[in-house]
Structures are given as C-alpha cells and as structure tokens.
Structure 1
Amino acid sequence: MTAKPFSFRLIATDGAARRGEIETPHGLVRTPAFMPVGTQATVKAMYPDQVRALGSDVVLGNTYHLMLRPTAERVARLGGLHRFMNWPHTILTDSGGFQVMSLAQLRKLDETGVRFQSHIDGQKYHLTPERSIEIQGLLGSDIQMQLDECIGLPAPREEAQRAMELSLRWAERSRAQFEAMGGPAKGQGLYGIVQGGDVAELRIASARALADMPFEGYSVGGLAVGEPQDVMLKMLEITTPAMPVDKPRYLMGVGTPEDILESVTRGIDQFDCVMPTRAGRHGLAYTRYGKVNLKNARHADDPRPLDETSDCPAARDYSRAYLHHLVKAGEGLAAMLLTWNNLAYYQHLMQGMRDAIEAGTFQDFRAAVKADWVRGDIAPLG
C-alpha cells in the first residue's frame, strides 16, 4: 500500500527565518524543530511520554549504534524502531557515518564505503551507502540520511573537496538504494547532506549538486566540528540561499540555544544535539537566563527553583539547593530532573521561535531572548 507522500509546507517567513510543517507517516513535525537525540533507541534519563509532552514531534536514532546493538535485523523482526522504543511519532535516523569516523577502531575509507571495527567488541563491518540505507529501512525511520564523509575543521581545501565530492557520489548511491527499498512509496524521506568544510565555493557547489537530486530534504553537515561559531554562521549564510526553498533544511549536530537561534535566523528548520541531555547528566541546567552549573557550592543554600515561571515541574518545583544535593550525591534523579528541565527549555525556545515567525515578530523575539541571556540570573551563574 502506498502511504501519503512525505511533504513539507512552508507556513510563514520572517526575514530568512522559516515556519513550516513536515508530514511523515508518523505525524507532523512543526519547524523550526529540535530533535532530542535517542542514540540507542532511548532519550537518556527520559520516558518517551515525557519527551512527547514537552513538545517533541520527532526524535533521532543512531544507525551506527543500532546496527551494532541490538542490530537492525532484530529491530525489524520486533516490529520496527517505533514499536521497539515505544515512540509512535516521527523518527529520524542518521547514516552512521559520523560515529564511524569518531568512534570506530581501525577504520579505512575508500570509494565503496568505510570498513571499521566495532568499538564494543572489535567485530569488523563494512558500511556502504547502500548498507546504511538498508539499515535505516529495516529500522523503519521516517526520515533517513545519506551516507557522507564528515571531516573535522580546520582542514586543507584539498581534503574538504575530496570529501565533498565523495559525499556527492555516495548521495547518488544512497538515493538509488532508498528508491529500490520503496522508501517514497512508504511515505519516508531521504535527506542529502551538504559538505565542503569551511570553503564557500565548495559549500555552494555541494548544495547545488544535491538540489539537482530528488531528495525530500537537505542537510548541512560538517559544521560544529571544531570551527568557531562565526565560521559556522558564515557557512550557513553562504549555503542556505543555494538550498531549495520548498524542502526542509537540517543543520546536523547543532547545538547550543544560541547556535540554534542564530541558525534559524539564517534559514535552518531542523536541529539535533546531545547537548541538553548530556549536560543534564553532568549537572548543567539550561534556563531562560543562561546556564546554571548545579555542581557549584553557591547553590547549596539556594531555595529558588531553576525557573518559577516554567511549565516543567523539574524547573519549577525543585529548589536549586536540592538539585545541587542530588548532583553532589551522584543520585540518578539529578540526571532525570536536569535532562527534563533542559529539554523543556529547548522546546520552549523552539515554540517561541515558531510563534514569533508566524506573527512576524521574530527579530523582536530574538533580541529579547538574547537580552535575557546577557542579563543572567539574579545570582551569579556557574
């Protein structure tokens, strides 16, 4: 049976900022969207219904980790990733390429793909564009990613060009495999990934070449990999005008609230990052007035919550003194409450941006958010 086609609807713009909706087999994704990272079929320290209640329309699963454990074949036999992790909403899976480059042992890359040893048990694998798409198809994700080569920055121009051109060839192979597996008929989407390092001409060439391929969405990869923020933003200013207007734009692996706000200003629609969940597990809270390091002793006698105006119980109903105590005592509840708070703040920021773009007041909203960050909390922040 043919599912309703994957689609993107642009609802409003305010400058370069965009408000839209992505329709997938498992529901609508409101954009700009932040996608909590569920690396191993779980958003760490959170229940799925909590993640949904905070306003998340989509979560991210990681192809590299899931192919190693429990394996895509097992997940498929058990009914697919949505059923396996009890998330009946949209799932995006990445290609696994970034993790191969950053985690795997003894990796060797060539035209066919990348050969590597698992960081878990040393078993050997060969991840090709075709195999990456096959794994994502077995998982049953709604939004899938082409396999690409992501290099760190700074990098020589020659290396950036080589990786960009290889990624374009892999994009064609990924698309052919996606169509062979019936992805379009299932209503799924496949995104191409713009590469090119920090070289403007390469970014534009990559974006234009991908735009000539029939992808459902387009991503900007290879940023937030060591370069300063101003370089990342410059690359976005150069790249987004070369990307199709009528397709979603996804900036991979980004980032801080400021990175997200500034990237929406430059026309990006989707984001993912481990930052809010990882920070929560390490005693760091994100709030309207900046970051709060609950490890710091100054919070030991502070009866205030993180944010008394928040709708999130973790931010509103627990004192900083108690949160500090949980962090110092190494209690699991610390990670649970701070992750809850952080994801709540991120989704509150996304909803604020969506509303402001639709109302035509995005620049006022942006200025107010940044003013709060500059103002900081009543007490000095950690």
Structure 2
Amino acid sequence: MKFELKGSDKGSKARAGVLHTDHGIIETPIFMPVGTAGSVKAVHQRELRDDIAAQIILGNTYHLYLRPGLDIIQQAGGIHKFNGWEFPILTDSGGYQVYSLSGVRKIKEEGVTFQSHIDGSKHFFSPETAIDIQRTIGADIIMAFDECTPYPCDYTYAKNSMDMTHRWLERCCNRFDNTSSHYGYEQTLFPIVQGSTYNDLRKQSAETIASFERDGNAIGGLSVGEPAEMMYEMTDKVCAILPTDKPRYLMGVGTPENILECIALGIDMFDCVMPTRNARNGMIFTTEGIMNMRNEKWKDDFNPIDTSLGGHVSTQYSRAYLRHLIVSKEILGAQIASIHNLTFYLWLVTEARNQILQGNFVDWKNDMVKKVTTRL
C-alpha cells in the first residue's frame, strides 16, 4: 500500500491524497459506507459503485466471524468474491463491538471472552485471533485489536486500557508480520490511538502508535458521547503527532459537520452508520440542510430531493413521494433514502477534496457547516 499527498490547504491542516491498494485507488479525504455484515444495508453493490461513487466500504470482523462464518468466506475466496465488491474493503477488528457488549464480555490481558448477540454462545478474541480472522476475511486494510474506552472514563482506567492496547498492538504486528494474505493480494495493518479524552494519554498513545511505522494510523475512542469540541481537541492533538506521510483514519465519525471540521484538522478517512441508519428513520441530508421526511411540510412538496447533488435517486424522486414511502414503511423508502444520504456524504468529501486542491477549503467549509446543520 502506498499513500501520496497531492495537495494541502493553506488555511488549515486539510490534505488531499491518494491511497493505492491492490483493489484500486482511494482519493482522500474519503468516507467509507459501513457494510457491517459485508453489505451496506438496503444498497446494491452496483449502486454503491455507479450512483454513490463509493471507493471503499467497511465490514466488521465480529459480525462476519459470527455470520456467515469464516469457512463460508474462505470457500468463496475472500470477502470481495463473497459480496461481489471488487474495490477496497477495510475491516474493523471487532474491538468496538466487544466494547458495546459490556454486559456479556470479560477483558483480560490474553484477550476478550464474549457472548454472541445472536445465540449467546461464548467466543474468544485475542490480538492474534483478530489478525487471523481478518486474514481469512481478506480485507485490504485491517485494524489492530484494541479496547475502546467509554465516555466518561476515569484516568486510571483510561491509562491501563491504553497500555494494554499498546501491548496488544505489538502482538498484532508480530502476528501480521509472520503471516500472509490467503488470497494473493496485499493487506495492510493500521494501529489505533486510544487514551480517552486525556491530553497526556492521547499524546503518549499517538507517539507510541507512530513508532510502529505502519502504512496508516487510526484514531479510536472518540465519538462515544463526548462533546464535539472535546473530540476536535483530541483529534487535533493526535494529528499533530501522527506522521504526515501516512493516512489518518478517524473511526466512527460522524455528522457532516464533524467530517468537515475533522478534515480541517488533518483527517483523511471516515466511517459512520449515520447516513444509512438515519435514512431508514426518515432523516435526509442535503446540500442545503437536514430534512425530516416524516414532517407534514413535505407531504405536497413535489420538488426533487436535492437537485444540486445530482444522481438519479436525488433528482428522480420527489420529496412528497419519499415522505409517502417513509411514512408507509415501504422498503423502497429506506433504499432511496440510504442511497441519497450516502451520495451526499461521498459528494461532501469529494467536494472537500476539490476545494483543498483549489485552495478554497476554509471558506467553503465554513459556509457548508452552516448549511449542513440547518434544519429545513
């Protein structure tokens, strides 16, 4: 994997780059649609490629390990052949999902024992098994196994957790470096910065993660309930330490405003379930603001969803029709809304890239933040 910087913004730390993988290039900044179980909910792969213009999608180790299971994925020839997505894929190590199962898991130095949310069966993830599982799944970019601390989190717990994450990272790297891809193409491993919302811990973790000199680096443990300004403070501190010649991935973020502000701080890669989850509940993101399609005001609005955005879904269907589908709980409503919201998110990061390369990012970003936070 290779990362090239193509330009930077004079008024901020925003960058435009190109990430090369064996399944294609990724132009950054980029948003990765979340396909937890190998599928972005309500969206075909062709729509991801042709309508949304996604360049990379995200899958989850925990969910794919439980269902369909590693044997099925391996028999298929890896995740790309199993789900029909021919472009880059990133897998989360499962650390966040284990974190969310706080009532049914036990964390020890060796790893984590947890119960399946499907049938209650017991399973064990260690740094080594997390790497082995991701080797079998076959994503282009795989994540180190870490512990995601909750918010709020006391200092002692945050430090102990961070130290264990660093020890786990060394084990992940050893396992990764002593194994190879099952399917004949290159995989790469990203470590994850932790440290909760403590400045000194974030600094220490960023320095430790940078010292491993992997192909890219991630920032975890944010967007877990802390105020947005605190997230920006931690992100800024970490980006000042992580190497400039490697991509930086802020995990699980976020709203359009979050993405724009964090691009300005030097983040290159994002993922979040928000565009598809909110779409299924009738929240639509547009170039002029946010629409709640359950509101009566859209009942007789026959204008397209968003003509400025382009794309056949956003221009073909009216707001009134989409509202009708959402209120009627028609599956097509969830499909249209999901495709539209993902199209908007990919448009947002693509336009941010264009503005960075043109030298206009800060003014454009400030104007867009006002628009994307407006309730229509």
- Paired residue for 2:40? 43
- Paired residue for 1:265? 264
Q: 2:6 aligns with which of 11, 25, 29?
A: 11
- Paired residue for 1:32? 29
- Paired residue for 2:69? 71
CA contact (8 A) 2:309 2:347 kept: no
Shift of 1:183: 5.1
CA contact (8 A) 2:101 2:114 kept: no
CA contact (8 A) 2:128 2:172 kept: yes
Output aligned runs, 1:52-131, within 5 Å.
Answer: 52-53=49-50, 54-103=52-101, 106-131=104-129
CA contact (8 A) 2:190 2:217 kept: yes
- Paired residue for 2:343? 344
How far apart, in 2, do the equivalents of 1:373 and 1:64 lie?
33
Across the aligned residues of Structure 1 and Structure 2, the Cα RMSD in angstroms comes to 1.4
Output aligned runs, 1:194-205, within 5 Å.
Answer: 194-205=193-204
CA contact (8 A) 1:62 1:94 kept: yes
- Paired residue for 2:252? 253
Query: Secondary structure, in 3 states, of the residue corresponding to 1:291?
Result: strand
Output aligned runs, 1:330-369, within 5 Å.
Answer: 330-369=329-368
Q: Deviations over 1:273-320 (max 9, x none)?
A: 000011111111110111111011221111122212321222212111
Output aligned runs, 1:135-174, within 5 Å.
Answer: 135-174=133-172
Q: Deviations over 1:353-373 (max 9, x none)?
A: 111111111112212312433
Q: Deviations over 1:54-103 (max 9, x none)?
A: 22110000000000011123201111000100001000000001101213
Q: Is 2:174 the counterpart of 1:176?
A: yes
- Paired residue for 1:307? 306
Shift of 1:139: 0.8
How far apart, in 1, do the equivalents of 2:128 and 2:103 lie?
21
Shift of 1:122: 1.0
How far apart, in 1, do the equivalents of 2:7 and 2:187 lie?
24
Shift of 1:182: 2.1
Query: Secondary structure, in 3 states, of the residue corresponding to 2:240?
Result: helix
Q: Deviations over 1:327-360 (max 9, x none)?
A: 1111000000000110010011011011111111
TM-score by length of 1: 0.95
**Deviates most, 136-145 or 180-189:** 180-189
Shift of 1:143: 0.1
Q: Deviations over 1:3-58 (max 9, x none)?
A: xxx11111111131010011111010110010000001100010111111222110
2:161 corresponds to which letter in structure 1? Answer: A
How far apart, in 1, do the equivalents of 2:48 and 2:13 lie?
29
How far apart, in 1, do the equivalents of 2:312 and 2:185 lie?
38
For these two proteins, the number of residue pairs brought into alignment is: 372
CA contact (8 A) 1:105 1:116 kept: no
- Paired residue for 1:3? none
**Deviates most, 195-204 or 362-371:** 362-371
Deviating 4+ runs (over 6 angstroms): none
Query: Secondary structure, in 3 states, of the residue corresponding to 1:247?
Result: coil
Shift of 1:204: 0.7
How far apart, in 2, do the equivalents of 1:214 and 1:178 lie?
14
How far apart, in 2, do the equivalents of 1:314 and 1:186 lie?
35
- Paired residue for 2:283? 284
Shift of 1:105: 5.2
1:297 corresponds to which letter in structure 2? Answer: E
How far apart, in 2, do the equivalents of 1:263 and 1:8 lie?
19
Shift of 1:104: 6.8
CA contact (8 A) 1:96 1:147 kept: yes
How far apart, in 1, do the equivalents of 2:157 and 2:102 lie?
21
CA contact (8 A) 1:145 1:191 kept: yes
**Deviates most, 186-195 or 113-122:** 186-195
Q: Is 2:365 the counterpart of 1:370?
A: no
1:172 corresponds to which letter in structure 2? Answer: E
Q: Deviations over 1:150-169 (max 9, x none)?
A: 01111111111111111000
Query: Secondary structure, in 3 states, of the residue corresponding to 1:43?
Result: coil
Query: Secondary structure, in 3 states, of the residue corresponding to 1:242?
Result: coil
- Paired residue for 2:295? 296
